[in-house]
């Protein structure tokens, strides 16, 4: 599908809800087009379109020009989120599947907003943005219908944050920059708190492409949380509070890796 080529990041959303019904709508003041069953339906707020499993729907959601747009997806009564990009609804395994195709930088800002601990300083958010972007470039095709999902299985992702938010600014300040090793973007891992020392892939029983993870000392103590490989979010926030820049944070948790524009 041409939409996927234009928008490099694809994310299956709402799969935890195993949806039998989905709804697509334009945000207030917007229009969207739903392409389904051989016809194009223009929807103007507050109109919406409901997809039911029984109808075996297959649809794409775009702007009036066939490209990216702002749209709202819901599992009625369960969850509603706004997205920017194009949407896809299909049927598989007795449930509906919703896929959002989006620009890499929109995905990075959305992930930084969803994944960062509360109160993380700007330098830590910038380090998180580079790590999230590296993962997006290096770890693709993890799901049948998309590269990624919106849960911690891949990276947690909600609606894009406002453009003037610290999360969008952290993405913007590091735009296009990724961690590289042997000239290739690395599948950059991170977790909440390493407990004082990060772990190797072998110690954590994980695999990741492109980088031989090292166990590094970390200034964050406390009880470990997460797989403890790669960037420690707690430690990164503490380093930033003590004045470390985002490059210094990344050099600490990913020794030997470079930072390049992609």
* Binder of Zn ion out of 232, 237, 244, 250 (CB under 5 A): 232
- By CB under 5 A, residue 102 contacts Zn ion: no
* Binder of Zn ion out of 13, 131, 235, 257 (CB under 5 A): 235
Q: Spell out the alpha helix ranges (H) of 47-121.
A: 104-115
- By CB under 5 A, residue 217 contacts Zn ion: no
Rounded distance between C-alpha atoms, residue 106 and residue 84, angstroms: 8
- By CB under 5 A, residue 87 contacts Zn ion: no
- By CB under 5 A, residue 153 contacts Zn ion: yes
- By CB under 5 A, residue 210 contacts Zn ion: no
Cβ closer to Zn ion: 170 or 232? 232
Asked whether the beta carbons of 213 and 189 are under 8 A apart, the reply is yes
* Binder of Zn ion out of 34, 61, 154, 238 (CB under 5 A): 154
Q: Spell out the alpha helix ranges (H) of 139-187.
A: 166-173
Asked whether the beta carbons of 233 and 191 are under 8 A apart, the reply is yes
User: From start to end of 114-176, where are the E strands?
Assistant: 148-149
CA distances (Å), origin 149, targets 12, 55, 161: 5, 24, 18
Ramachandran angles phi, psi of 250, nearest 5°: -70, -40
- By CB under 5 A, residue 250 contacts Zn ion: no
Minimum distance, C-beta of residue 153 to Zn ion, in the bound complex (Å) = 4
Rg, C-alpha atoms of the chain:
19
DSSP at 162: P
Minimum distance, C-beta of residue 27 to Zn ion, in the bound complex (Å) = 26
Which range binds Zn ion by CB under 5 A, 37-45, 92-100, 219-227, 253-261?
219-227
- By CB under 5 A, residue 230 contacts Zn ion: no
Minimum distance, C-beta of residue 81 to Zn ion, in the bound complex (Å) = 17
Rounded distance between C-alpha atoms, residue 95 and residue 4, angstroms: 22
* Binder of Zn ion out of 194, 239, 240, 257 (CB under 5 A): 194
Residues that bind Zn ion (CB under 5 A): 149, 153-154, 194, 218, 220, 232, 235
């Amino acid at each position: 599908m041409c939409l996927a080529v234009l928008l490099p990041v694809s994310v299956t959303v709402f799969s935890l809800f195993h949806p039998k019904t989905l709804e697509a709508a334009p945000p207030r003041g917007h229009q969207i087009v739903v392409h389904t069953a051989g016809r194009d339906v223009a929807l103007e707020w507050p109109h919406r379109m409901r997809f039911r499993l029984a109808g075996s729907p297959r649809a794409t959601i775009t702007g009036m020009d066939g490209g990216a747009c702002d749209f709202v997806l819901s599992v009625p009564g369960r969850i509603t989120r706004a997205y920017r990009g194009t949407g896809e609804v299909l049927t598989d395994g007795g449930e509906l599947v919703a896929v959002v195709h989006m620009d890499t930088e929109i995905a990075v800002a959305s992930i930084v907003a969803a994944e960062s601990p509360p109160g993380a300083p700007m330098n830590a958010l910038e380090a998180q943005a580079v790590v999230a972007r590296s993962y997006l470039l290096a770890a693709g095709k993890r799901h049948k219908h998309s590269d990624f999902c919106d849960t911690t299985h891949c990276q947690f992702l909600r609606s894009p944050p406002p453009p003037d938010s610290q999360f969008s600014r952290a993405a913007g300040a590091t735009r296009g920059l990724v961690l590289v090793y042997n000239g290739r973007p690395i599948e950059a891992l991170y977790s909440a708190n390493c407990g004082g020392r990060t772990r190797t892939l072998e110690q954590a029983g994980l695999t990741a492409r492109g980088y031989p993870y090292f166990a590094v000392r970390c200034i964050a103590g406390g009880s470990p949380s997460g797989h403890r490989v790669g960037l420690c979010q707690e430690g990164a926030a503490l380093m930033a509070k003590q004045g470390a820049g985002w490059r210094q944070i990344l050099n600490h948790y990913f020794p030997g890796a470079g930072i390049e524009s992609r």
